[in-house]
Structure 1
Amino acid sequence: MNGVELFLLGRTLMKIGEQAMPEPESGSRGSVRSVLVTLGDIVANPGTTVGEIAARTGLPQSQVSTAVARLTEAGSVDTAPDPADRRRRLVHPAATPSARVAEVRAATIDDALAAALAAPDGSAPDPAVLDAVTAALATLARHLAPGAVARPR
């Protein structure tokens, strides 16, 4: 496998992950990726600003601001004034997970993964293949969890 293949596999896995997430009550999924990238950065760097998140993630500041607003509304993060500069707000993971966070964490990838592995005629995937891919994903998750690998360049 080369870097391009790994990158494309990562995009495929992201799409399966997005499909596995329960619909929000509003019915609008919006940009799930930018919200998840933003949340991942906030968890890794609590007490950060929108500008710092944008610089680390490469997302436009407007997308990060929108994601932080959505995450705040969902109860995933809290914001507070920066004591060093009251014009800025610091973003932290919420101390207590909201009902939406609990719902997303409880959702499994089973149906989305089965759909991705379905035969070309739409029939269910081979159970052995489904089990093997599920086991491979569990292994990757153990070894490549966020923060387990040195920061990419």
Structure 2
Amino acid sequence: MDGRRLHRLGRHLIELARQLSLESGVERPPEGEIAVLTDVLDNPGSSVREITQRTGFSQPHISECITRLVEDAMLATDVDPRDRRRTLVYPTDALFRAIARRTTPHLDDTLTTALGDPAKAQRARELLTELADLLLPDQ
């Protein structure tokens, strides 16, 4: 696979993910919250400052998002035992359950629509799961 094809595949997967979230019927969170959730899922135990640096949003905006997401039980915070001035942010089991609820039943439908064949959709789901297991950090 060359870089151009990989880029096209990535764009197509992003479009499928967008369709999946639209089909779920659940209102999409604001972009800042999505950025925070994504960053915390990829980097559990990060400080607010680290999340701010990676996402590019302002520190007050990140702090507000984290506060809302903690209130919604999607994230949890803890004081860094090595530096009590730092707050560390973690995903919660409630977040993982929400992700599973939102994606599992609709992914098959989205893939079947995109591929036109339930058997191909099932195979694509298996391949995507294997790819995610290989490329994404262990959660």
Match in the other structure for 1:122: none
Alpha-carbon spacing, 1:36–1:11, altered in 2? closer, same or farther (3 Å): farther
Alpha-carbon spacing, 1:114–1:69, altered in 2? closer, same or farther (3 Å): farther
Aligned residues between the structures: 129
Structure 1 gaps, min length 5: 118-124, 149-153
- Asked whether the 8 Å contact 1:54–1:64 carries over to 2, the reply is yes
- Where in structure 2 are the equivalents of 1:2-151 lying within 5 Å? 2-21=2-21, 22-24=24-26, 27-31=27-31, 33-43=34-44, 46=45, 48-55=46-53, 57=54, 59-62=55-58, 64-65=62-63, 67-82=65-80, 84-86=83-85, 88-94=86-92, 97-98=93-94, 101-106=96-101, 107-108=103-104, 109-117=107-115, 125-144=116-135, 146-147=136-137
Equivalent-residue separation in structure 1 for 2:132 and 2:28 (angstroms): 28
- Asked whether the 8 Å contact 2:36–2:51 carries over to 1, the reply is no
Q: Percent identity?
A: 31
SS of the residue 1:61 aligns to:
coil
Structure 2 gaps, min length 5: none
Q: How far apart are 1:73 and its partner, in Å?
A: 3.1
More helix by share: 2
Q: How far apart are 1:23 and its partner, in Å?
A: 4.6
Q: How far apart are 1:28 and its partner, in Å?
A: 4.3
**Structure 1 runs of 4+ off > 3 angstroms?**
21-24, 63-67, 80-83
Q: Provide Cα deviations, 1:51-104, integer angstroms capped at 9, x if missing partner.
A: 21233x3x2133644543443233121123445253x4221233xx22x64232
Cα RMSD for the two superposed structures: 3.0
- Asked whether the 8 Å contact 1:51–1:61 carries over to 2, the reply is no
